[in-house]
Structure 1
């Protein structure tokens, strides 16, 4: 197992908070949070084998040898990119770049040959958002004529914007299907994750490039989700609908709400429009009310009933990542979001008392007790919880010749104020994240 501390400084900082047994952290102290996050990241990387000889870069062990589907790999890279951005720790750069680039596929669109036949639009969107984060944070792309990160994200947008990916008739006309190919189970299902991922990607591309096509796509997608009933007037976000009759499946998962919040935050920042602010604020209020119990993130669809599967374990971390991003992009939301993120981070760290090293993390946080369920998702979730309370901008952000194209930044600062940024100790740089998608919902509902 990993060492108790990754450095003498981290060891001393955690010892000051009684963290040598477990992972106690002072969420009001940035140095304490960074030290704890470094340990969680270190332990997380002991569970990734893609950079070892004979293994596949970019993904966790997948079936039949392992239990992790392709999409989960991108959550690792999005998490480490957020960690990099907020702590300034760049030691994982080569591993992140290798993982993201190895899975990009022959057409630079995250449709690698080993997974193309089975991946869904949500899977592809998830990887595209990871690439988007890599570009915004200036992650080197490895050179050797590799594509620029944002160009990869644009390619995914272009493909998902096409009519052949979408329902062409009846009440769900225009919606992005869950599956890409008709022979896959779920082709006749419109899942919110695919459409929200597309909206989020479009919003971020609008923010970066100022291109109206992207902004229009984000707006049209929100309208469509509302018209179908997947986003309600009370800002509940439902899982999906059958493509033929648009009958809505009212299950709710935290990542759908979080990803939509992030997309709305980018659109409000980009446009400064009251309409986007209203959507953003409504989504934040409803999501904080629904997906947190006693101040800790809680996956309401499965956590209390102990019915979460391997894929569902990843969703809580995505919620925290996207809330942290929204708080940076639209600082007025911090008054509501930041206290909840801090209480959740405290609860998350407190239950990391498992494993041979005495600090591996579990899935359930509200009880404050380690539940015995360890794995990549559990480590990612806690890493996201800790990282989300740190100011952005610890590492290089924005355009970089290795990561982005030369498009202008379309940021509109009407959605924020200098005082807001100064009071939070942050820059107006984005904290982009991923969403989740996957072959995951096949195991849930199909």
Structure 2
């Protein structure tokens, strides 16, 4: 596996027989796309030490402040999802065993993507990202784990089921998931678009995969909630969140690209599941128009909340990775969108490759794709993941990549409709936190908020 990766990485930098620093991408050449994506993936994985002695399988170093540029648990799950798509698009199996081991190590004591080690910072969006990664594994027929370990589909179902239980007891703001899972966490009084978007996305995909309408009904209710409360406005702009103390009227109108992506892909799955419903077709089109208007100035993906002055948190550097991957997947489920989406992904990929021109190796990727070859000076897992993702999506028109599978079209992951039932899913039933719990959780969550509060006010990290 490793020789293949090294060969691809080396090939990506040989131009005219000479080794060059910046990445050279030929956007119409599938071999070039695969080589460049492999190189960026290789550099991204240098941040991961979970498969080394003393490392924790499945997670990146962190969280801050030790090390100061560490990563929260959710981004590790998101990275594995990106690498599953990387394998699916490129065929490169170099990381598949590491992906499988990393996800399975983090499934938690009840196989619901809620390991107790992360209970002091567990958000519904955090759990949701790991659930969506498991769903991607099922939809792509990623290598199945041994039968004594939870299947990909059952993990996705467990995440959905535990979150559905939390939703069932919510009355404040008329429903909606809270940002944080546990009462003792700072942010438990905040309801946001990404937590609810992950639940909506997962429900829509489970409905399509299993043909079980219960999932679709929950997804539909979540759509109705976010529009009724105003976190998605009449122009399909999606805002970050609001507090329950105000009945969710104090809407924080900061916009992030991953919110658009997670709701767009969910809507596309609902369109596909409903066999071309005119309602969901209109919603897909409207979300896509809003996405283009806000996040694609000059056709290049742009993180409007923080990219202008590079005031991004570590998490925000990764948001374009999910937006571009989910846009690409939308083209399978709502086929008319491909003609609209691919020009944006093409222009963004060319620009992203040019921005991979910095660092000690001369090819480190930054966030500011619109700046061309002038590296913006930032580096990290998020920047590498975003560049890798948008680049490999351009294999769509050049290779034979099939749509997401279902259990009727070749999906082999076995499900469990009752997955997650062993979890303590009801936040009200959780025993009161100890003083130590409150202090530890407060410190960790405060660290997440301090750098962002000055720029944006309350928001989902």
* TM-score (normalizing by structure 2): 0.84
CA contact (8 A) 2:332 2:403 kept: no
1:13 deviates by: 8.3
Q: Tell me the SS of whatever aligns to 2:358.
A: coil
SS of 2:77's partner is helix
Per the alignment, do residues 406 and 309 of structure 1 end up closer, same or farther by CA in structure 2, a change over 3 Å counting? Answer: closer
Task: Return the offset for 1:384.
Answer: 0.8
Q: Which residue in 2 is equivalent to 1:48? A: 48
Unaligned runs of 5+ in 2: 418-443
Q: Deviations for 1:9-67, whole angstroms, at most 9, x for unmatched residues?
A: 96178636998331121212222111111111111111111111110011110134332
* Residues 27 and 283 of structure 1, relative CA distance in 2, 3 Å threshold: same
Distance change in 2, residues 1:123/1:19 (3 Å): farther
State how far apart, in whole Å, the 1-side matches of 2:66 and 2:240 are: 29
Whether 1:382 aligns to 2:387 is: yes
Which of residues 84, 88, 98 in structure 2 aligns to 1:95? 98
Structure 2 vs 1, CA of residues 144 and 55 (structure 1 numbering), >3 Å: closer, same or farther? Answer: farther
Number of positions where the alignment pairs a residue of Structure 1 with one of Structure 2: 413
Which whole-Å CA distance do the structure 1 matches of 2:22 and 2:152 have between them? 37
Q: 1:190 to 1:253 in 2, by over 3 A?
A: same
Q: CA deviation at 1:155?
A: 0.8
Pick from 380, 395, 403 the counterpart of residue 413 of structure 2.
403
CA distance in 2, matches of 1:9, 1:380: 16
Q: 1:9 to 1:79 in 2, by over 3 A?
A: closer
| Partner Cα distance (1:357, 1:130) in 2 | 30
Instruction: Name 2:431's counterpart in structure 1.
Output: none
Matched, 1:252 2:227: no
Residue number among 243, 266, 270 corresponding to 1:267 in the alignment: 270
Gaps of 5+ in 1: 408-437
Higher-RCO chain (CA-CA 8 Å, sequence separation at least 6): 1
Distance 1:14 1:267 in 2: 45
> Is the 8 Å Cα contact of residues 4 and 20 (structure 1) preserved in structure 2?
no
Q: 1:81 aligns with which of 81, 84, 90?
A: 84
2:340 equivalent to 1:340: no
Shift in CA distance, 401/249, structure 1 to aligned 2, threshold 3 Å: closer
Which residue number in structure 1 is paired with residue 425 of structure 2?
none
Q: 1:179 matched to which residue of 2?
A: 180
Q: SS of 1:249's equivalent?
A: coil
- In the alignment, is residue 161 of structure 1 matched against residue 164 of structure 2? yes
Aligned partners of 2:9 and 2:39 also within 8 Å:
no
Change (3 A) 1:395 1:285: closer
In the other structure, the counterpart of 1:421 is none
Q: TM-score, normalised by structure 1?
A: 0.87
2:148 aligned with 1:148, yes or no? no
Q: RMSD of the TM alignment (CA)?
A: 2.6
Higher helix residue share: 2
Q: Quick one: distance in 1 between partners of 2:205 and 2:299?
A: 29
Aligned to 2:228: 227
Residues 176, 190 of structure 1: 8 Å contact kept? yes
Q: Contact between 2:154 and 2:416, CA under 8 Å: does it hold in 1?
A: no
